[in-house]
Structure 1
Amino acid sequence: MSSINAVDFASLLCSRLCHDLLSPVGALNNGLELLADEHDPEMRARCLELLNESARTSANKLKFFRLAFGAAGGFGEEVDTREAKAALEGLFGSDGRIELGWMVPDVSLSKTAIKVLLNLSLIAGDALVRGGRLDIGAERGENGTEIVVRAEGPRLVLDGELRKALLGDVADDALTPRAAAAWLAHKIVVEAGGSIQISEPDEAFLLFGAVLAA
């Protein structure tokens, strides 16, 4: 198993965040420039709509990344699962392209479980190139927490690099920013005494399973 330097990994993760935020933040900047030069009331109203949409997208991404990658959720060991659900709805459910199914009966889960759930959901959601359905389930039992994420749609694309990163099969110098979330999920699960399972590439759906020891 590869052991990537923590500083190098932090740099990769920051690069991933900047890449994902560049589009909505750039749209905000462009919208402000257009608004400054536009005097037609209807066009100004349209610019404001676009600015509002870009601001909402940026905020939703930041909320999600803060919970999936950062230290959000308070100082305790548990995180309210409703917070995770809201983060996913903000990231994937706002435009109707992806239908979300939430099957998490527990009121709270450990921070570790929440991070794994969100990162696996992020990867599965990104694999739905043309939209589809994303089902997220998690349940805590006596032996630990089981997490299942299932994606199904007209076109599913899971890059081989992400598959390898989820399984820990990546060299120290081969990890790229786009695979940072997958590597993070792998490391968290392994350190929690668990493992990640992935459906075969030729399946009509994408299925992730993770088990975290109690």
Structure 2
Amino acid sequence: MDDRQSIDLAAMLCSRLCHDMLSPVGALSNGLELLAMETDPEMRANVMQLLEQSALISTNKLKFFRLAFGAAGGFGEHVEVAEPQALIEALIADKGNITINWALAEPTLGKPAVKVLLNFAQIAIDALVRGGTLDIGAEVRDGACEIVVRAGGPKIAFDETIGKALDGSLDRSELTSRTAAAHMINLLASESGGGLQYHKGADMLVLGAVLPQGGGLIG
């Protein structure tokens, strides 16, 4: 990837982060304005509750993006699986119509695998517009980390350009804030000597990755 592509990818990832953070941070700002004007104790208590919820959502999203997109310097080369598991659980905390089934066979995963796992989960959650089930599994076999994320539910929503970003067929002109994360993990998998694949049905989306242990790391 040349310097221009690197700059474009970084810009699109920043746009995605800003887009996702705008709602909870905006709610914080609005809540503070209401709190400054409101004098009724009951209303102030309601506003405080909304502020706490918005602050929690903002914190969880920042933690997610730090590990999914960034260098995550606070972690070593391997991350305990409880960390991405907690971040994904937090993403669906306000989505009562999505349930998760876990099949994580390893106590830790390398940072590249964690990035792929988190971004797969984000794509799968976005696909479950009407709710459903999220099955997330990862294991190391024959010297490679294998990751599978399956979203099952009615009316799966999946942008085909995200699929093209995952399999490496994305045209440069199609790099947007929507496709940037998928493009990033495709580069990550390719650099490590692995690969990504996906399959979409009417009520199912399956995302898979094979990442050789000790492969390259972007970010």
Q: Distance in 2 between matches of 1:47 and 1:202?
A: 42
When residues 3 and 206 of structure 1 are mapped into structure 2, their CA distance, relative to the original with a 3 A threshold, is farther
Could you say which residue in structure 1 is the equivalent of 2:24?
24
Could you say which residue in structure 2 is the equivalent of 1:192?
192
- Whether 1:8 and 2:30 are equivalent positions in the alignment is no
Could you say which residue in structure 2 is the equivalent of 1:202?
201
SS of the residue 1:173 aligns to: helix
Q: Distance in 2 between matches of 1:159 and 1:42?
A: 44
Tell me if the contact between 2:168 and 2:186 (Cα under 8 Å) persists in the aligned partners. Answer: yes
Q: Indicate the larger mover: 166-175 or 131-140.
A: 166-175
Q: Taking structure 1 as the reference length, what is the TM-score of the superposition?
A: 0.93
Task: Compute the displacement of 1:99 (Å).
Answer: 1.0
Could you say which residue in structure 2 is the equivalent of 1:142?
142
Identity of aligned residues (%): 54
SS of the residue 2:201 aligns to: coil
Could you say which residue in structure 2 is the equivalent of 1:125?
125
Tell me if the contact between 2:195 and 2:211 (Cα under 8 Å) persists in the aligned partners. Answer: yes
Q: Which runs of 5+ in 2 are unaligned?
A: 214-219
Post-superposition Cα deviations, 1:122-157, rounded to whole Å, max 9, x if no partner, equal: 111111112211111000122301000000122210
Task: Compute the displacement of 1:197 (Å).
Answer: 1.5
Q: Distance in 2 between matches of 1:138 and 1:148?
A: 6
Q: Distance in 1 between matches of 2:4 and 2:135?
A: 31
Matched letter for residue 77 of structure 1:
E
Tell me if the contact between 2:156 and 2:204 (Cα under 8 Å) persists in the aligned partners. Answer: yes
Tell me if the contact between 1:198 and 1:208 (Cα under 8 Å) persists in the aligned partners. Answer: yes
When residues 143 and 4 of structure 1 are mapped into structure 2, their CA distance, relative to the original with a 3 A threshold, is farther
Q: Distance in 1 between matches of 2:204 and 2:31?
A: 38
- Whether 1:104 and 2:99 are equivalent positions in the alignment is no
Q: Distance in 1 between matches of 2:4 and 2:54?
A: 34
Matched letter for residue 213 of structure 1:
P
Tell me if the contact between 2:79 and 2:110 (Cα under 8 Å) persists in the aligned partners. Answer: yes
Alignment of 1:84-103 (within 5 A): 84-103=84-103
Question: After TM superposition, what 4+ stretches of structure 1 lie above 3 angstroms from structure 2?
Answer: 1-4
Tell me if the contact between 1:134 and 1:151 (Cα under 8 Å) persists in the aligned partners. Answer: yes
Task: Compute the displacement of 1:76 (Å).
Answer: 2.5
SS of the residue 1:5 aligns to: helix
Q: Distance in 1 between matches of 2:201 and 2:145?
A: 28
Could you say which residue in structure 1 is the equivalent of 2:211?
212
Q: CA RMSD in A?
A: 1.8
The alignment of Structure 1 onto Structure 2 pairs a total of residues equal to: 213
Matched letter for residue 195 of structure 2:
S
Tell me if the contact between 2:155 and 2:203 (Cα under 8 Å) persists in the aligned partners. Answer: no
Tell me if the contact between 1:148 and 1:208 (Cα under 8 Å) persists in the aligned partners. Answer: yes
Tell me if the contact between 1:162 and 1:179 (Cα under 8 Å) persists in the aligned partners. Answer: yes
Tell me if the contact between 1:2 and 1:169 (Cα under 8 Å) persists in the aligned partners. Answer: no
